[in-house]
């Protein structure tokens, strides 16, 4: 169980992680908005599973929300994964391609 | 209505005139480029306006009617085409008209604003237009591949032309990936050719409809996978978006207008071809929707955390490409109309923003949002235009972005995807936030006293005229969308064969 | 390569295996069941144009495709030279970092052995003449413009590598670019006569398979390249029409484009003087 104090501490730490370091104020707003956007995006994506089964979607929704809050802030990782590094782009392309082929070939 | 002639006069001219102009200006290198380039761009614009609709069968070989075994030059009688077929219909009309308008401004701006030895650069701009015109007109798989290939090579050249290290890196990375996606498209078309035996897209679709392919659908699925690869690459969808946005950000803003127009045209053209070829397979549309949603969200999130106005716009272009592909991926009547309409609108409002960004180069080229420049005081016009562009991009009436986004939202709700409708709204709002961050720092916030310089800047008149034209276009389409929709609706009806 | 170590590497490997299985399974499905489709018609009619089916395919049935392929080579040359420094542009109004340039290669020709020194020139001249021979046989043999261009530029490269700046086969900058321009422009404009007469761009008026062109043009473009096939049944004539001309233009374009790449990479690029 999480007490109010620790949750507050957590939130404070989370906000601090933007402001300290190399961040400056104009970019901080961007990062915080980005973080919230990403959170919402994940939640909306998990809602999508209602197409297959509604209970699954509810469980998934709760799990993703908890996980996303637990692992936050994730925006730095999102930024890192979207860097223009060639190997990284190649890696993601291979993953996407494999998913597309797997879904269409064995799902369809 | 598309006429029943197979030798329409305008199609070869739309391909050959840019090519010959490119050859000439590349050879001349720095002398007498301006009159040749501008007059050629005007001629292209006029042809794109006055051209009637019809087909062109390059090399003049007829079609073979499989039942009677006779040859015919009449495109209305069904036959397997021996020659290479191009179509100029309503979709091509509107798309090529807008691209040639952008080409004209792009060429004038580069002849005014750039240093000498511009021959190769302007040649590349013309070839860029040529490749996008071919992609949207072509009805042949093999030629589509060549057009995508030459298109990506030209994008590399345009990005590298500014000669800075960052643009060289962007160009090299994008060029490296062209090998993968170009080869992917080649593999895909090889598989379709092996399956159907026809390079002409309509013929291949006719074959697939006539004969039950049964267990051979595996081949079609793999072909689809490779096709998607080149779609992602040409349009800058996730996961290739870091490379494409880098190209957009590292090129000069006037060139980016043409680059983004080209990638929107490619998204629409390849997307429609994919829908026609593979639309009947299960899971195909879902894959396209999935890619679009990811691109939309990642693009806008990345735009939020950029610290340079050019890169903010670059990522927003990526994000809004997701709208286009989403509409096409839905594959419904409303969805297709919304997607193609969004492509047209997107080209227009991004052009406003990019031309304003070009104006910043005349104020010293500072586009970073780290410092404040107070440009609104020096040029209230550019500041207003940028804000109007931002409003148009975020889908606020009476601008054009609103019209297509509302169609897309309705299409999503009708298909039973309210979540995607929510995401579209989120992206629209966030677009405004991301742009306003940049606009506030660059235009509105007063600069630090010591860095303020009071010098007057003369903006080229063409730039101002261009911005005004595109804002007016945006408002006209926003108030009276039928002006564009009447070009799009017949095409959508034909694709869905209603 | 840090990104591809550990967990990520394993995931990428699994993904690659999935892709490979999918791709191979589709190829296996397709084995022995490839549909000839339109190519049967193409092959059946190819004799009407050139005796070599390949030439008819590449330069007549799909002649416009080949134009764009040629343009790919041209753009390749243009972009490569641009990356070296030809035609780099900057905004007049704002200061930017100076463009990236590459230095010319350093030649050390003094270590050249005697054999190379004396056999180099004949070898490259031989290559140049072999290129000319290949392009002349474009419509009867497998040769053509692409091959000729590549062979001739390799002769140029051989001489340039062996003798450095004192190479006997010297091309100026404008000369190389001019050759490329003549090549691609010539190829593009060879479609014009057909367009003006029949309305179809790049219609082969010399061969005139479908009888659309007036006979005078058929004679002008067809007769110089007329070929005869002597059989027991009689003598048969056919003409490849504009195919040999296209091949010559093609050769010019390839020499111009690849020559420009070699030139820029060997000597670097400076805009002053020749």
**pLDDT tens-digit profile of B201-231?**
999 998 888 887 777 888 999 999 999 999 9
Q: Between A27, A41, A100, which is nearest B305 by CB?
A: A27
CA A44/CA A31 separation, integer angstroms: 20
- A103 in reach of chain C (CB within 8 A): no
Does the residue C32 lie in any domain? no
User: Which chain B residue has the Cα nearest residue C102?
Assistant: B163
Q: Where do we find the tokens 């006209």?
A: B476
List pLDDT tens digits, range B292-313: 999 999 999 999 988 899 999 9
Q: Is C89 in Cβ contact with B118 (below 8 Å)? A: yes
pLDDT score of B69: 87
Residue B325 binned pLDDT confidence (cut-offs 50, 70, 90): very high
Chain B contact for C37 (CB, 8 A cutoff): yes
The pair of three-digit structure tokens given for residue C209, joined into one six-digit string: 């398979």
| Tokens matching residue B386 | 């940028």
CB contact under 8 A, C19 and A91: no
Scan residues 53-82 of A and list those with Cβ closer than 8 Å to B.
Answer: 75, 78-79, 82
Q: Does A52 touch chain B (CB under 8 A)?
A: no
| pLDDT per position as a tens digit, B14-72 | 999 999 999 999 999 888 899 999 999 999 999 999 999 999 999 999 999 888 888 98
CB-closest option in B24, B153, B219 to C26: B219
Q: What is the ipTM of this complex?
A: 0.94
> With contact defined as beta carbons under 8 Å apart, do C186 and C249 qualify?
yes
Chain A residues near residue C25 by CB distance under 8 angstroms: 105
Residue C20 lies in a domain: no
Q: Residues 310 to 339 of B: which have CB under 8 A from any C CB? A: none
Q: What average pLDDT does this structure show over B182-192?
A: 92
- In our burial notation (b when 16+ CB lie closer than 10 A, e otherwise), range B92-125 reads bbbbbbbbbbbbbbbbbbbbebbeebbbbbbbbb
Tell me which of A81, A89, A101, A108 to substitute to probe the interface with C (most C C-beta atoms closer than 10 Å).
A101
Quick check: A1 pLDDT over 50? Answer: no
Q: For A26, which of B228, B284, B437 is closest by C-beta distance?
A: B437
pLDDT, residue B215, reads 78
Are A108 and B422 within 8 A, CB to CB? no
Can you give the pLDDT at residue C111? 78
pLDDT tens-digit readout, B244-258: 999 999 999 999 999
**In chain B, where are the structural domains located?**
290-498
pLDDT score of A67: 86
| Torsion over CA: C256, C257, C260, C262 (sign) | negative
Inter-chain touch C16–A105, beta carbons under 8 Å:
no
pLDDT exceeds 80 at position C96 = no
The position carrying tokens 């991926």 is B329
Does a structural domain hold residue C219? yes
Nearest one of B444, B149, B495, B127 to B340, comparing CA atoms = B495
**Residue C154: how many CB atoms within 10 A of its CB?**
17
Q: Cβ contacts (< 8 Å) between A42 and chain B: which residues? A: none
Share of chain B residues as helix, strand and coil, in percent rounded to the nearest 5: 75, 5, 20
Q: How many CB atoms lie within 10 A of CB A21?
A: 9
Q: Do A31 and B302 touch (CB under 8 A)?
A: no
The model's confidence at residue B121, banded by pLDDT at 50, 70 and 90, is: very high
Are the beta carbons of A98 and C3 separated by less than 8 Å? no
Query: What does pLDDT average to over chain B?
Result: 91
Please give the average per-residue pLDDT across B88-117, as a whole number.
93
Task: Give the pLDDT score at A19.
Answer: 57
* Domain annotation covers residue C106: no
pLDDT-derived band at C11 (thresholds 50, 70, 90) equals: very high
Per the CB < 8 Å rule, is C1 touching A91? no
Out of B176, B242, B307, the one facing A82 most closely (by C-beta) is B242
pLDDT band at B122, cuts 50/70/90?
Answer: very high
pLDDT tens by residue, C193-214: 999 999 999 999 988 888 888 8
Helix (H, G, I), strand (E, B) or coil at B140: strand
Query: Is the pLDDT at A22 greater than 60, yes or no?
Result: no
Q: Give chain C's domain count.
A: 1
Q: Does A67 touch chain C (CB under 8 A)?
A: no
Residue A23 predicted with pLDDT over 70? no
CA distance B282 to chain A (A): 5
Q: Which residues in C86-115 are b (16+ Cβ under 10 Å) and which e?
A: bbbbbbebeeeeebbeeeeeebeeeebeee
**Residue B302: its chain A contacts at CB < 8 A?**
34, 79, 82
Q: State the nearest Cα–Cα gap between B426 and chain C, in angstroms.
A: 31
Residues 6 or more apart whose Cβ sits within 8 Å of residue B480 = none
Q: What local confidence, expressed as pLDDT, does residue A17 receive?
A: 63
- Which residues span the domain enclosing C194? 46-85+112-267
**Per-residue model confidence (pLDDT) at position B76:** 85
More confident residue, B199 or C272: B199
Q: Are A91 and C16 in contact (CB < 8 Å)?
A: no
- Range with the lowest mean pLDDT among B433-437, C90-94, C176-180? C90-94
**B233-237, B265-269, B363-367, C260-264: which range is least confident on average?**
B363-367
What are the residue ranges spanned by the domains of chain A?
4-73, 84-108
* Contact assignment for A84 to B441 by CB distance below 8 Å: no
């Amino acid at each position: 169980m999480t007490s109010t104090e620790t949750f507050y501490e957590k939130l404070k730490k989370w906000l601090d992680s933007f402001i300290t370091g190399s961040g400056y104020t104009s970019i901080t707003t961007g990062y915080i908005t980005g973080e919230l956007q990403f959170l919402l995006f994940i939640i909306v994506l998990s809602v999508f599973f209602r197409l297959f089964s509604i209970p699954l979607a509810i469980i998934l929704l709760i799990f993703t929300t908890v996980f996303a809050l637990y692992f936050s802030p994730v925006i730095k990782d999102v930024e890192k994964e979207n860097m223009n590094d060639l190997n990284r782009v190649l890696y993601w392309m291979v993953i996407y391609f494999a998913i597309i082929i797997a879904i269409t070939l064995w799902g369809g | 209505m598309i006429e029943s002639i197979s030798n329409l006069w305008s199609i070869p001219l739309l391909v050959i005139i840019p090519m010959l102009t490119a050859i000439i200006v590349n050879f001349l290198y720095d002398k007498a480029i301006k009159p040749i380039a501008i007059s050629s761009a005007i001629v292209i614009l006029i042809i794109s306006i006055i051209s009637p609709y019809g087909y062109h069968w390059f090399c003049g070989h007829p079609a073979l009617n499989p039942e009677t075994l006779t040859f015919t030059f009449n495109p209305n009688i069904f036959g397997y085409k021996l020659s290479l077929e191009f179509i100029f219909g309503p979709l091509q009309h509107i798309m090529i008209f807008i691209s040639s308008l952008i080409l004209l401004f792009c060429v004038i701006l580069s002849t005014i604003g750039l240093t000498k030895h511009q021959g190769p650069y302007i040649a590349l701009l013309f070839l860029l237009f040529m490749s996008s015109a071919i992609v949207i007109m072509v009805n042949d798989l093999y030629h589509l591949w060549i057009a995508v290939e030459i298109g990506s090579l030209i994008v590399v050249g345009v990005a590298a032309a500014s000669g800075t290290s960052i643009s060289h890196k962007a160009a090299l990375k994008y060029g490296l990936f062209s090998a993968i996606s170009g080869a992917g498209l080649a593999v895909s078309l090889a598989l379709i050719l092996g399956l159907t035996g026809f390079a002409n897209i309509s013929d291949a679709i006719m074959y697939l409809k006539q004969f039950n392919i049964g267990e051979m659908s595996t081949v079609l699925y793999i072909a689809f996978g490779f096709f998607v690869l080149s779609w992602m690459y040409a349009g800058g969808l996730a996961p290739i978006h870091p490379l494409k946005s880098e190209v957009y950000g590292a090129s000069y803003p006037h060139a980016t207008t043409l680059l983004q127009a080209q990638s929107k045209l490619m998204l629409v053209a390849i997307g429609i071809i994919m829908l026609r070829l593979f639309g009947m397979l299960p899971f195909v549309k879902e894959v396209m929707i999935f890619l679009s949603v990811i691109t939309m969200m990642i693009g806008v999130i990345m735009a939020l955390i950029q610290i340079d106005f050019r890169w903010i716009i670059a990522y927003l272009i990526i994000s809004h490409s997701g709208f286009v592909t989403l509409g096409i991926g839905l594959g419904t009547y409303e969805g297709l109309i919304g997607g193609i309409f969004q492509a047209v609108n997107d080209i227009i409002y991004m052009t406003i923003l990019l031309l304003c960004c070009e104006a910043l180069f005349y104020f010293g080229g500072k586009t970073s949002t780290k410092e404040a420049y107070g440009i609104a005081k020096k040029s209230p016009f550019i500041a207003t235009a940028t804000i109007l562009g931002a409003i148009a991009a975020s889908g606020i009436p009476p601008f054009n972005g609103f019209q297509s986004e509302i169609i897309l939202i309705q299409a999503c709700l009708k298909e039973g995807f309210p979540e995607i409708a929510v995401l579209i709204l989120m992206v629209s709002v966030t677009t405004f936030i991301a742009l306003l961050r940049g606009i506030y720092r660059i235009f509105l916030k007063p600069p630090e006293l010591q860095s303020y310089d009071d010098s007057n800047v003369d903006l080229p008149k063409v730039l101002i005229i261009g911005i005004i034209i595109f804002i007016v276009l945006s408002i006209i389409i926003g108030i009276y969308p039928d002006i564009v929709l009447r070009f799009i609706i017949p095409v959508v009806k034909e694709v869905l064969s209603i | 390569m840090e990104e591809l170590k550990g967990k990520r590497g394993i995931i990428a490997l699994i993904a690659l295996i999935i892709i490979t299985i999918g791709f191979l399974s589709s190829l296996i499905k397709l084995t022995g069941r490839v549909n000839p489709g339109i190519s049967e018609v193409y092959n059946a009619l190819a004799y009407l144009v050139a005796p070599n089916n390949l030439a008819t395919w590449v330069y007549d049935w799909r002649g416009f495709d080949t134009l764009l392929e040629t343009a790919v080579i041209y753009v390749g040359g243009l972009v490569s030279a641009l990356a070296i420094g030809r035609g780099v542009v900057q905004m007049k109004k704002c200061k930017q970092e100076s463009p990236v340039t590459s230095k010319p290669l350093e030649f050390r020709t003094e270590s050249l052995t005697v054999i190379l020194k004396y056999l180099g020139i004949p070898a490259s001249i031989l290559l140049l003449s072999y290129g000319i021979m290949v392009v002349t046989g474009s419509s009867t043999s497998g040769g053509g413009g692409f091959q000729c261009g590549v062979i001739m530029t390799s002769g140029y490269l051989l001489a340039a590598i062996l003798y450095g700046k004192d190479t006997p086969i010297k091309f100026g900058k404008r000369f190389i670019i001019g050759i490329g321009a003549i090549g691609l422009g010539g190829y593009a404009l060879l479609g014009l006569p057909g367009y003006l007469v029949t309305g179809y761009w790049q219609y082969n008026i010399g061969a005139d398979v479908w009888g659309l062109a007036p006979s005078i043009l058929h004679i002008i473009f067809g007769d110089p390249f007329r070929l005869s096939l002597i059989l027991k049944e009689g003598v048969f004539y056919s003409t490849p029409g504009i195919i040999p001309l296209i091949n010559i233009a093609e050769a010019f374009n390839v020499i111009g484009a690849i020559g420009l790449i070699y030139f820029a990479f060997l000597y670097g690029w400076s805009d002053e003087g020749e």
